[in-house]
Structure 1
Amino acid sequence: MRPSGPSITTCRDALQLAVRAPSVHNTQPWRWRIRPGRVDLFADFGRQVSATDPKARALVVSCGAALHHLEVAFAMLGWQADIDRMPDPDRPDHLATMEFTPRSPTDLDIRLAAAIHLRQSDRRRYPRLPVASHDLRAVSRCAARFGAAARHVPDLLLSHLAAPMRRAAARHATDTNYLAELEQWSGCHGAPAGVPARNAPAARASDELPVRAFAETELSEYTDEPDSAHWLVVCTPRDNRLSQLRAGQATSAMLLQATHRGLATSLQSEPLGMVDLRDQIRTTVLQECAYPHVMIRVGVMPHAAAPLESTPRRDLAEVIETN
């Protein structure tokens, strides 16, 4: 008899990979419901970081990344996922329903699932090592499947990205609500959520494109040279919750593809939480053709670089229900 869907055990195994997805400040703002033949994804708005992400855009993008991680995990386990996004207009927190068809995993399915374990947010400066253009194209192309796009920011336009990033950092430096929130969600030691001190380098105000500064930083830089990261802006033609969810799926696909190709990555979204700075990026970098949702740094870290420690995750029992 043809199976009606994955077992509870299989769903839990897949979710164990899905919750490895990146999220804003590692808040892990998702809940999952397992039912016969389906899995539902809900946004946990109780974990919104309001000073960082006042519109909850980054929260929904984070959930989209977890949704794609789950799709990859099920593909590796022999199930093709059919995803219905935003299935209930009366439940804005109900982001997706996933149902399944048996399908043998491909070699790529297995490699991408393996990339979930290998992917880490490497916030250090990337040394001046070449990133093959075909690798950047392959990473960028992943966004199209989800109705999104990835804009590779050329050197000529990096100043247009740097300006709003610097303004965001300057505003946050004097925003007491933001600083209190950052203190709560970063510089963590042994907590199951938040950004651990051991995974965050010191603030780099001297860099052309300054990345978000965290509380308590213990990660040593690999190089003192200027950061040589390539920057990709994940964007969509519309600006609504469905677009945010799709952008998150696209982001996950790009990160796993980059990891599969041996590239280092980290996410940046600091200026995107401010309406005027997000509009500035849309106007100057995206030429008003799309709405930005997240920025991805891409580079190469040598094997000689110190390995990163795993970022903790909440216990699975905290984020799933079975009835």
Structure 2
Amino acid sequence: MDRGQPDETTVRAAVALAGRAPSVHNSQPWRWELGAHSLHLYADRTRALPATDPLGADLVVSCGAALHHLRAALAALGWHAKVHRLPNPAQPDHLAAIEFEPAEPRQSHVALAAAIPRRRTDRRAFSSWPTPEELLQQLVQFARAEGVDARIATGKARDELLIAIGKAAHVQEADPAYQAEIHQWSGVYPGASAGVPAANIPAGSRQYGNLRMREFAPGSLLQGSRSVLGEDAGALLVLSTSSDDDLSRLRAGEAASAVLLEATAAGLATCPLSQPLEVVETRDLVRDEVLGGATCPQLVIRVGWAGFNADPLPATPRRPVIDLLRDQEQK
């Protein structure tokens, strides 16, 4: 890189942290190209999941999460990321071009980047202790700061959301192609660079009250004990946008990353839930019955306190930077 730009070590460190972003089935469907004065994010369609994600919406949301992780990492390393989203209409997979500006890191930047390696997708039951409303509203504001609407599903809206989750699971589990994808991408062997390992999948029932979690391959993760009340008090945060295109999905992924990292920094457990939005019927149900038809749902995030005595979750596998990043002249 030229003087006034981050050196290669800094860029590689930021891309490594970006690679820890959550993605559908931990497929990590992104790649990066490094130019003389910029870094470029591309969707990697070779890692698409057509049965789970027929519209490719989850894929772009996942890339948006990686983009925000990159921004957070660069900020902590002393660089402001100037992002140009969807810079080339002729290349729809070119999702972002990032330029660099020196910027003194603040304590909040360092804290957010420090949350990246600690963040986990926790599919276990949560504690019965409710998350303080003030903290939930802070998460809503973090999403809105990324240009994405966010609301906590309560009352009838929550009931409708839980119905949509259950219906989507029923539809997908009856689809042989979906079942084949689930078995390909979950319960992966030690040493794999992607997918969801058995150690990150709860053993036994994944029905928590009225909430039905996605069924992966059999898991080995033990549930932590909940409080004496025994009820899962996890909140459901719905992210939505005014439009339903790749720019909206990219923004939604950035907002999801902001919520997940801020929640992690606050000590909360989190779990993105895309299943009700992967089936047309239930996506429409969430739009009309949960959001009142006003906006397009992009992702649901489950937030709460981890169960008492819950063991720390292991890190899921990640693709090495050498597989993610290349120089543009190497094309």
| 1:251 lines up with 2:256 in the alignment | yes
| Alignment correspondent of 1:220 | 222
1:16 counterpart SS class: helix
1:303/1:6 CA distance change after superposition, 3 Å: farther
Instruction: Note the C-alpha offset of 1:302.
Output: 5.2
2:247 alignment counterpart: 242
Letter in 2 for 1:316: V
Q: Distance in 2 between matches of 1:206 and 1:302?
A: 12
8 Å Cα contact 2:115-2:265 kept in structure 1: yes
Structure-to-structure mapping, 1:187-226, within 5 angstroms? 187-190=187-190, 191-201=192-202, 202-205=204-207, 207-223=209-225, 225-226=230-231
Q: Which residue of 2 aligns with 1:5?
A: 5
User: Paired residue for 1:284, among 266, 284, 289?
Assistant: 289
For residue 126 of structure 1, give the secondary structure of its aligned residue in structure 2.
Answer: coil
Name the structure 1 match of 2:113: 113
User: Hey, what's the Cα distance between the residues in 1 that align with 2:248 and 2:161?
Assistant: 22
Q: Secondary structure at the match of 1:321?
A: strand
Counterpart secondary structure, 2:211? coil
Shift in Å at residue 303 of structure 1? 6.4
Q: Which moved more, 1:297-306 or 1:278-287?
A: 297-306
Which residue is equivalent to 2:32?
32
Deviates more, 1:179-188 or 1:269-278: 269-278
Q: Is the 8 A contact 1:203 1:213 kept in 2?
A: no
Cα offset for 1:313? Answer: 0.2
Q: How does 1:139-178 map to 2 (within 5 A)?
A: 139-178=139-178
8 Å CA contact retained: 1:149, 1:234: yes
Question: Any unmatched runs of 5+ in structure 1?
Answer: none
Three-state SS of the structure 2 residue aligned to 1:117 is coil
Of all paired residues, the percent bearing the same amino acid is 43
Q: What is the DSSP-based 3-state SS (H/G/I as helix, E as strand, rest coil) of the residue aligned with 1:247? A: helix
Spell out the pairing of 1:37-116 with structure 2 (5 A cutoff): 37-116=37-116
Q: TM-score, normalised by structure 2?
A: 0.94
Q: Kindly provide the CA deviation profile for residues 250-292 of structure 1, in whole angstroms up to 9, marking residues without a partner as x.
A: 0000101101111110110112111121011000000011111
The alignment status of 1:183 with 2:188, answered yes or no, reads no
CA RMSD of superposed structures (Å): 1.4
TM-score, normalized by length of structure 1?
0.97
Q: How many residues align?
A: 322
Flag structure 2 segments of 5+ consecutive residues without an equivalent: none
Q: What amino acid maps onto 2:213 in structure 1?
A: V
How many Å apart are 1:211 and its aligned residue? 1.2
Give the distance between the partners of 2:225 and 2:301, measured in 1 at CA. 20
SS at match of 2:116: helix
> Structure 1 counterpart of 2:291, which letter?
L
Q: Distance in 1 between matches of 2:308 and 2:39?
A: 38
Q: Which amino acid counterpart does residue 119 of structure 1 have in structure 2?
A: R
How far apart are residue 203 of structure 1 and its match? 4.2
Cα distance change, pair 185–89 in 1 and its aligned pair in 2 (3 A):
same
